[in-house]
Structure 1
């Protein structure tokens, strides 16, 4: 039933620069225009790999490993994807990782979309296709921990489900849809929508079509992809199935930066137009506004009919660094210390961050009043919380009203209680103080 081609990749031939070098890529300029967020996804990827395989440095000074060899899951290439034109940026086959469910979870499915930023120019996408975020040739095993763990003590509600991690290799949250293979003389493929279709068809053929329960989730750019494809995911499954979606750190705000510039809006406009993402966006939305605005979650969620849960920090460090305070809007580097560690922010900066928190809560107000929606909005300086053991469900996990993210999500998914947890403003939550990434 689950026969698929599984491979283990050799280490990438790309250089593996230190994290400091990777961060230098976050802001680069071409023809006078900045391209911040394209490379930021790679920073997140490096952080994920290091924090998973090295250790978690806690505030107490102790060290806890986050994964082991037994948590690693092999890569599976999508069959016949190339024949359908469903390919990564470099033309390689899209891929996913599958761990079969067991016992009472044999007919339940958790499907997760990997994150990793976006690319908005041919040049940045060409660079990206030489990384695991643009080529399955450079992908390897991944750990299944946090929400994907098979350990019941770490993952009480979903430990025995079928679990899938969809690898992200198109650079537009699985929404690109351009027929041409050549852009400005560079061979590159923008086929995210076809990747989504091909992977869904394969998963349906190996058991997802018989799901009794199904949960689509995603982190960061994968969280945005989850919002874009949530209703389509439900439409592909039996009407009798309980189907829900979760976006983790994927609620990117349409807000101006500290210099009054619409940095994120301009960036998304470039992504949508370059990669032909308009065709994947809600038709009612794009009939009323510019397509790139329909790439923002606060517009997408207005049209989602499937029950939806939002996990997000009110002080998401990625959004603070790239939407609120991009480097180009901080020429004197006044925010450097604050962006590295929220505990280093001065009173004026904290005031601005509190305004950013209010903007997030305002954007979520519609979901807050929806009977089917759930949320966990904490005050930690963090980005993506469901895939890590320490933030999903552990003794040191962030809590709101003494509940972990796993507690809250499980209660909501299984209708045990209404869950709309919104944390008090920073610095009131002591469980966040160990959750600082610098």
Structure 2
């Protein structure tokens, strides 16, 4: 049978096929590995997988890729980024080296607010160009699906410009993009706090829900110095009424109840969780909400890492993201995040890969095609070839590894 693409032989293929939904418990380390494997792609989707000799005997193609010296995985899914921004936070970075905390810098009007000012001043064209450059960067590092937050405008025009940039970028890239609206990232200094909350509920959320960028989610930063639990609930419920699924930046620095609120409201994910403990882990484990951890943020800020090992052992569905942003995680590389998850959070390479593929996709429900994050028959043919003999060797090279080839929808990216 003639097909569009054959990749065979493959030294080590991680299919991530199995039961639907996010992996938990013992399943969290099941990557569906097949050695000396082959994969058939037709019409942008995985047509079949199996032993290499059978694949090559039963199929033919004008495009056959030899992966006998490669690990092949699904394309990586980065389920938490802030890719739209303008400006520079290098001064914040340098100040932290002298012992000034992220929270103190934010309280002094730096941090998110400095990015707000620069983003508001940028044109849609400039925002789009910088966003496309970042998209190309993360794709070269193995990310084939990502979530992008509109999170720095903090005004009607600023938020609209961010969404316009995302919509423009979506039309110019084959990277799969899920969009999150996050007006509730910080309180802007040019408006009373109560007025800003009302603006979000009455004007910004309705604008976002109808925007061509097509946001699926509404995210709130529930934290000391940002939005308290009661206000977070008001904003999330306003989004729910407009069809936007909740997400929560929760327990990044302090435990305020954001995890419990997110799980109660059916949030797609609660993200960060650096300060979370056993009670929050049990709450997440008993819910459908995905626990998104981002070791790059802890690494970048010099904070303790989220206890992802305990989360998995408690039964949470754990996902990984970069949190790529200018202030607290200038880290675009999902392979680097996998390496931190193994070296600092004590996940196995297999658990980390699950968290960066099928579980990360589960944190983006209904926003991306079904099957993203796996290479099961029928799934989109989003995959990466890595210059390694085993998954362990791939993750071992986490500070510098890049895929040798990336395919999105069966096409070389």
Normalised by the shorter chain, which TM-score bucket?
0.3 to 0.5
Higher strand content, 1 or 2: 2
TM-score scaled to structure 2, two decimals? 0.36
